[in-house]
Structure 1
């Protein structure tokens, strides 16, 4: 019996060891000194404690020891406080999230990523319609752009024909709360492709405090589970792109404005970039991976708050003196003024011409009106009203909103001038007392939000179980 147990324990240990080896085979070896993966350095020398050193670093170490006329014994005699290094005391400082996966074979990659998996534009837009209200032109542009991005990647891999499809990065302009970030976040849920959403406000020129420009690619690599092949087929959305506009009337070095735009040129056009794995900045303890950005689609978005004034100034230059002259305030109430934006307007805003040249597709999102805000409240799949209905449904209470109440909420949201973000803030204010009082009384069966309650001249209607509705003052 004891012999059988010993055999079973040995079999279990062998299985665990084989499982560990298969997991290790998925990741590349990383040089302990230069932190580069094996795909970049070539075969490595393995030392105890699972420490790997590339041949280049090993040769540099030998050259350092052989420099001068002193042999190893003389060298150590001049440094009495230094003894032989114990490799067993050196921990392997590459964490799990910093390990680089080995590249898969091209045959396996082609089986996973084919045109059959690419949804056509009308299907992408149909899915976006379930979550995003309005913005028909923006959803159409994004759907076509993403679809063409997939086709471009596949055509470059198959190398069919002599025509090379150029990459079409996109610039999204729209007022705050119009749905720029939400549009891309929804797109990330629908597509099986790595997508990284980053903020341009924290980016600075290399060498200054803040995130390096390569950190946007590092976030995409993390979204792809450190798989370089998969990350090179991904999409990067850079939000708040208007915050890196060129600073005006300043004598200081513009490390977070024009310098960031200049540094992003090579990323947008396509180049090999060394990015840290599992970290935002390069240092001696972080492995590096090389990512080619030629097949990465960049979508930039920003509110550009003062851009409307620049457009008005350009349009008003056309006015002249006389009875047929345009009025100076002709465009003050134009809600779709951003649709008239040109590259010259963006240059006047502070964007570098070379940066704009690498964003050939420029489109705008419309400002939200009262009708669109009412639809946003109730129509999307995860609408705000549906969320509150679900919360009260857990208390076995039905929640309803009168149409006039929705109109009143939309009018208050327009006054705040923060787009759809104002809707939740307003509803949180009015639903606070209801969500507090409802769990106290088990006899309440239904709550109806009225216009009088929104206007602070009345209260909601409370319907008790099996009784007529009451008006809560």
Structure 2
């Protein structure tokens, strides 16, 4: 993050997202300010609150993609949640604090995975020794493992009767590394997951009960293991995973994860307009306003209890988004409005943007389909007139039906290339050229039949 200036953040976003310059500038500044905050004197650091953002625009214009790319770019903990999933405490549904718990859980798993990868070499070495113990037990232990269906023991395979045990072990190690024992089986004790599952349902978060019931019951019940006969490569992989878990310090993992969440976490609140009551009244509108009031302390900054301990939300960056068709951001309760000082309106996408989306980003749709068909030995080519025609049809269908933005392109491309994708594995098809005539032949009749296009396009 130290090396990423706001202009460079925007340039990186431009590689994946077409247009929306205002939104990119706003999120780039917000992201850079998080790094700046960590550089100021400590007495002032805690006073600088994150500048949360509301992205206003119809679906399919890039709101979620902007937030997701930001988290990937900076390796920040990121969690996306639809605000419409929440209900006021007391109603059946998820409570708002669960989004912080979910973010912590995801971050703990990510840090744990990174730590395990860092100790893979050590874990592999320990697992190799355990595997050699299984293949060549010490004297007085169990018999050496035999090949499935009979055959020589590992000891008989590598040495004569008078061979030293240590030199035999080294010979067996070389054979293991060379893959000469890949067809052998070993007996391994694995956790038995076939027992009954106990699930506890509640309209409150499990951590709010003060006890993690799953962990408690897991400690009381005996640990069932089941001996299985597994091939050497798979057994070595299982042993390596076990040793990697034993080598990492979970207390350190949890501390690191909580620090990452508190300092650089990003929560993307989609569909925030769905929790705005259209008029004061009864029924679900009461719960909607209640969700806003429940959200307020989380966004303002409070301590959330998780199974890993309390987590502060003071410096988590909240990015909210919504179409705001029927209501306005000013319809949010005043206290919540004040916690989202930056509001950016995203532009609706038209013909020109659709044409660029199809070809310019690094993950452009056209490039994806070319790569997919290349696996079947088919060269797919798109003419410039075909791209323009697809973009024009996408714009027309969005205007005549529901405007779903760039997501319309996915539907059109699937309809357009359905026959090619089905016939591609057949012999004799090596090159397919898509031009404007091809696009019209496949999509024009479908587009003109308005009733049918509402279902298919």
Equivalent residues of 2:86, 2:96 under 8 A apart? yes
CA distance in 1, matches of 2:297, 2:8: 33
State the structure with more CA Rg: 1
Q: Corresponding residue for 1:192?
A: 75
> Is 2:419 the counterpart of 1:433?
yes
Equivalent residues of 1:204, 1:255 under 8 A apart? no
Question: Which sections of structure 1, spanning at least 5 residues, go unmatched?
Answer: 1-114, 277-286, 308-344, 460-473
**Mapping for residues 144-293 of structure 1, pairs under 5 Å:** 144-155=29-40, 158-159=41-42, 164-225=47-108, 226=254, 227-233=257-263, 234-248=265-279, 250-252=281-283, 254-274=285-305, 276=306, 287=307, 289-293=309-313
> Is 2:320 the counterpart of 1:300?
yes
> Is 2:337 the counterpart of 1:454?
no
> Is 2:371 the counterpart of 1:390?
yes
Question: Which sections of structure 2, spanning at least 5 residues, go unmatched?
Answer: 109-253, 445-457
> Shift of the alpha carbon at 1:441?
2.3
**Mapping for residues 99-118 of structure 1, pairs under 5 Å:** 116=2
User: SS of the counterpart of 1:377?
Assistant: helix
Distance change in 2, residues 1:289/1:396 (3 Å): same
> Shift of the alpha carbon at 1:170?
0.8
CA distance in 1, matches of 2:388, 2:284: 49
CA distance in 2, matches of 1:386, 1:253: 45
CA distance in 1, matches of 2:338, 2:442: 55
User: SS of the counterpart of 2:8?
Assistant: helix
Q: Corresponding residue for 1:381?
A: 362
Superposition TM-score, scaled by structure 1 size: 0.58
CA distance in 2, matches of 1:291, 1:250: 35
> Shift of the alpha carbon at 1:445?
2.7
CA distance in 1, matches of 2:6, 2:408: 31
> Is 2:339 the counterpart of 1:358?
yes
> Is 2:410 the counterpart of 1:424?
yes
CA distance in 2, matches of 1:346, 1:202: 19
Equivalent residues of 2:415, 2:442 under 8 A apart? no
> Shift of the alpha carbon at 1:379?
0.7
Equivalent residues of 1:246, 1:352 under 8 A apart? no
Q: Corresponding residue for 1:39?
A: none
Equivalent residues of 2:9, 2:28 under 8 A apart? yes
Distance change in 2, residues 1:212/1:450 (3 Å): same
> Shift of the alpha carbon at 1:154?
4.3
CA distance in 1, matches of 2:45, 2:436: 64
CA distance in 2, matches of 1:458, 1:369: 19
Equivalent residues of 1:241, 1:302 under 8 A apart? yes
User: Over residues 300-345 of structure 1, what are the superposed CA-to-partner deviations in whole Å (9 max), with x where a residue is unaligned?
Assistant: 11111225xxxxxxxxxxxxxxxxxxxxxxxxxxxxxxxxxxxxx4
> Shift of the alpha carbon at 1:346?
2.5
Distance change in 2, residues 1:257/1:121 (3 Å): same
User: SS of the counterpart of 1:254?
Assistant: helix
Counterpart among 15, 18, 27 of residue 133 in structure 1: 18
User: Over residues 396-430 of structure 1, what are the superposed CA-to-partner deviations in whole Å (9 max), with x where a residue is unaligned?
Assistant: 22111122211221122122321100001011011
Q: Which has the higher contact order (CA 8 A, sep 6+)?
A: 2
User: Over residues 3-31 of structure 1, what are the superposed CA-to-partner deviations in whole Å (9 max), with x where a residue is unaligned?
Assistant: xxxxxxxxxxxxxxxxxxxxxxxxxxxxx
Equivalent residues of 1:452, 1:458 under 8 A apart? no
Distance change in 2, residues 1:253/1:448 (3 Å): closer
* Greater fraction helix: 2
> Shift of the alpha carbon at 1:162?
8.8
User: SS of the counterpart of 1:440?
Assistant: coil
Runs of 4+ in structure 1 displaced over 4 angstroms?
Answer: 160-163
User: SS of the counterpart of 2:380?
Assistant: strand
Equivalent residues of 2:415, 2:443 under 8 A apart? no
Counterpart among 409, 430, 433 of residue 445 in structure 1: 430
Distance change in 2, residues 1:210/1:431 (3 Å): same
Equivalent residues of 2:416, 2:442 under 8 A apart? no
> Is 2:353 the counterpart of 1:372?
yes
> Shift of the alpha carbon at 1:159?
1.0
Distance change in 2, residues 1:264/1:441 (3 Å): same
CA distance in 2, matches of 1:218, 1:161: 28
User: Over residues 199-253 of structure 1, what are the superposed CA-to-partner deviations in whole Å (9 max), with x where a residue is unaligned?
Assistant: 1111011122111010111121112205222210211111111111124263226
CA distance in 2, matches of 1:458, 1:303: 29
**Aligned pair count?**
291
CA distance in 1, matches of 2:443, 2:412: 17
User: SS of the counterpart of 2:16?
Assistant: coil
> Shift of the alpha carbon at 1:161?
5.7
User: SS of the counterpart of 1:455?
Assistant: helix
